[in-house]
């Protein structure tokens, strides 16, 4: 078949059914610019090893530059007959150079080492883009934390009122997992800093090409140590997909809270009109679709990871065509997050918090009971007794339909001699949060410090 990379030993072209199945240009075209970069580096390695004269190298690089420009502007596109991005670009190159020169480029490389290299290049670029988008989300959350430095909300465990916390503390708690996602990308980048180019089909190449030249040219720190590993492994792709899935999960946990906070029952937030949607039938509706899409897309991101891991399981070394199935899932995860994150960050940045409502609810549900117990401990009551006494106080308040601070002095005394009026100093939400001043605690001084540490950590990534 005209233009195919492997016609020699075959009697005729592939069946139309095979051609249709085998075709990958509809997704691997995303790799075209990386493929050309790889080809330019490879041409230089060929020239260094004596397989291209310096004139030929100039001709080759000039043609590759022209081809790149045609790809970028969309003037050069894969044809129906092209099997994959590599075949299409070889066809384009030979159109420019003639077969005499263009036909020399493929020496000493295989699509197997090419594709393993190109996917790393693409993922490195998107790790950088996604990291930037994550930093913007952290900035939006941290800015809300700064604006609402004093606001107190009900902190929950089991979704029940537990202890009052600063809203800023809660918002920053959503930042730290994202900081770790950033660190995961950075750490992944260190493992992905090895170039598989030069591994050939699996066993290396015989032409004496300097793989380090190609690696440096492409911005890798080093060359893979093992050509079989270089062509057959995709753990780095799976790890990347894991990071995107983890980001999806981190977003979806915040999304779920925003959805709850935005209900009539909570009434903690109002979404900006530009970041919410309406209903086609109910005129009054204003829906948190961005948060819901974030929650929903986390399922898709997990699915992409799961599919990829399943593809890799049990694959014998070295290259198998199954490995082509690594691309669509991870490309989809990238696209999903690169569309989702800007919308999500916009939603967060424009959220209006109803801090009066939060403060009103914060002491309800006996959320200051632990403060009472710890106040008793400070007065040298054993925690066991303190827990018991405070439990009786809660029981009394519940039976009389009171909050803890509404129980009068006489009743306090009747519950325990230790419950003197001074206990009221911890029966305010302000007193409660201020007293939690150990490292990582919700006291305003600690939270301000935490915010500074967060910003510092992001800056020094
Ligand atoms: N398109 C393939 C992939 O994505 C690379 C080509 C290798 N093909 C082959 N028949 N060895 O993995």
Residue-wise pLDDT for 10-40, tens only, equals: 888 889 999 999 999 999 999 999 999 999 9
Range 280-299 average pLDDT: 92
**What does the DSSP assignment read for 160-202?**
EEEEEEEHHHHHHHHHHHHHHHHHHHHHHHHHT-EE-TT-TTT
CA distance 377 to 370: 10
Length of the chain: 461
Question: In terms of Cα–Cα distance, which of 296, 329, 337, 308 is closest to 131?
Answer: 337
pLDDT at 308 over 80: yes
Stated pTM of the model: 0.94
- In the chain, % of residues over pLDDT 90: 93
Q: Where are the alpha helices (DSSP H) in 218-322?
A: 227-232, 235-261, 289-312
Beta carbons within 8 Å of 407's beta carbon, 6+ residues apart: 393, 396, 397, 400, 415
pLDDT reported for residue 282: 84
What is the distance in A from the centroid of ligand 1 to the CA of 216?
A: 24
pLDDT at 4 over 90: no
Question: Which residue's alpha carbon is at the smallest distance from atom 4 of ligand 1?
Answer: 324
What is the distance in A from the centroid of ligand 1 to the CA of 97?
A: 25
Burial of 301 (0-12, 13-18, 19+ CB in 10 A): buried
Range 433-461 average pLDDT: 96
Question: Rounded to 5 degrees, what angle do the CA atoms 347, 353, 358 make?
Answer: 140
pLDDT at 331 over 70: yes
Question: In terms of Cα–Cα distance, which of 59, 66, 119, 67 is closest to 89?
Answer: 67
Please tell me if the CB atom of residue 109 comes closer than 6 angstroms to any atom of ligand 1. Answer: no
Per-residue model confidence as pLDDT tens digits over 243-263: 999 999 999 999 999 999 999
**H or E element at residue 409:** helix 409-415
What is the number of the ligand 1 atom nearest to the C-alpha of 327? Answer: 4
pLDDT at 405 over 80: yes
pLDDT at 70 over 70: yes
Please tell me if the CB atom of residue 115 comes closer than 6 angstroms to any atom of ligand 1. Answer: yes
Please tell me if the CB atom of residue 114 comes closer than 6 angstroms to any atom of ligand 1. Answer: no
Please tell me if the CB atom of residue 24 comes closer than 6 angstroms to any atom of ligand 1. Answer: yes
Question: In terms of Cα–Cα distance, which of 377, 390, 379 is closest to 416?
Answer: 390
Question: Rounded to 5 degrees, what angle do the CA atoms 298, 181, 296 make?
Answer: 10
The number of angstroms, rounded, from the C-alpha of 88 to the middle of its chain's C-alpha atoms is 32
333 is catalytic: no
What is the distance in A from the centroid of ligand 1 to the CA of 400?
A: 74
Please tell me if the CB atom of residue 323 comes closer than 6 angstroms to any atom of ligand 1. Answer: yes
252 is catalytic: no
Rg of the chain over all Cα atoms, to the nearest angstrom: 31
pLDDT reported for residue 3: 60
Beta carbons within 8 Å of 189's beta carbon, 6+ residues apart: 124, 127
What is the number of the ligand 1 atom nearest to the C-alpha of 323? Answer: 12
Please tell me if the CB atom of residue 318 comes closer than 6 angstroms to any atom of ligand 1. Answer: no
Q: How many helices (H) and strands (E) does the chain have?
A: 19, 6
Sign of CA dihedral 177, 178, 183, 188: positive
Range 300-318 average pLDDT: 98
Range 385-400 average pLDDT: 96
What is the distance in A from the centroid of ligand 1 to the CA of 25?
A: 11
Question: In terms of Cα–Cα distance, which of 2, 80, 9, 5 is closest to 35?
Answer: 5
β-sheet bridge partners, residue 376 = none
Look up residue 294 and give its two tokens. 């974030």
**H or E element at residue 40:** helix 32-48
Structural domains of the chain sorted by starting position, each given as residue range(s) with its CATH number in brackets: 16-107 (1.10.275.10), 124-194+232-360 (1.20.200.10), 362-448 (1.10.40.30)
């Amino acid at each position: 078949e005209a233009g195919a990379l492997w016609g020699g030993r075959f009697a005729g072209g592939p069946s139309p059914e095979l051609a249709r199945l085998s075709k990958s240009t509809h997704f691997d075209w995303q790799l075209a610019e990386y493929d050309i970069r790889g080809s330019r580096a490879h041409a230089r390695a060929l020239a260094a090893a004596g397989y291209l004269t310096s004139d030929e190298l100039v001709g080759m690089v000039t043609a590759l530059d022209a081809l790149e420009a045609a790809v970028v502007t969309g003037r050069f596109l894969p044809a129906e007959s092209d099997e994959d991005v590599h075949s299409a670009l070889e066809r384009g190159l030979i159109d420019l150079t003639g077969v005499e020169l263009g036909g020399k480029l493929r020496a000493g490389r295989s699509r197997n080492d090419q594709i393993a290299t190109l996917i790393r290049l693409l993922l490195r670029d998107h790790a950088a883009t996604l990291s930037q988008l994550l930093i913007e989300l952290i900035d939006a959350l941290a800015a809300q934390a700064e604006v609402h430095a004093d606001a107190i909300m009900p902190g929950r465990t089991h979704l029940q009122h537990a202890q009052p916390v600063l809203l800023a503390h809660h918002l920053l708690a959503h930042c730290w997992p994202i900081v770790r996602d950033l660190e995961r990308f950075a750490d992944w980048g260190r493992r992905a800093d090895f170039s598989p180019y030069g591994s050939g089909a699996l066993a290396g190449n015989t032409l004496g090409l300097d793989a380090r030249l190609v690696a440096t040219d492409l911005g890798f720190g080093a060359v893979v140590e093992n050509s079989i590993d270089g062509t057959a492994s995709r753990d780095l792709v799976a790890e990347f997909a894991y990071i995107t899935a983890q980001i999806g999960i981190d977003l979806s946990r915040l999304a779920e809270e925003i959805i709850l906070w935005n209900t009539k029952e909570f009434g903690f937030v109002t979404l900006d009109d530009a970041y919410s949607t309406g209903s086609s039938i109910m005129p009054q509706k204003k829906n948190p679709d961005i948060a819901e899409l974030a929650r929903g897309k986390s399922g898709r991101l997990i699915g992409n990871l799961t599919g990829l891991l399943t593809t890799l399981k049990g694959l014998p070394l070295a290259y198998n065509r199954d490995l082509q199935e690594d691309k669509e899932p991870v490309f989809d995860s990238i696209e999903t997050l690169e569309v989702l994150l800007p919308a999500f960050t916009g939603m967060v940045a424009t959220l209006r918090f109803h801090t009066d409502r939060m403060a009103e609810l914060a002491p309800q549900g006996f959320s200051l009971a632990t403060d009472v117990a710890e106040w008793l401990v400070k007065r040298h009551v054993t925690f066991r007794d303190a827990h018991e006494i405070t439990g009786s106080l809660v029981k009394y308040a519940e039976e009389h339909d009171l909050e803890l601070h509404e129980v009068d002095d006489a009743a306090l005394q009747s519950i325990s001699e230790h419950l003197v009026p001074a206990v009221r100093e911890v029966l305010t939400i302000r007193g409660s949060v201020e007293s939690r001043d150990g490292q990582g605690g919700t006291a305003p001084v600690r939270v301000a410090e935490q915010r500074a540490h967060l910003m510092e950590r992001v800056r020094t990534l």
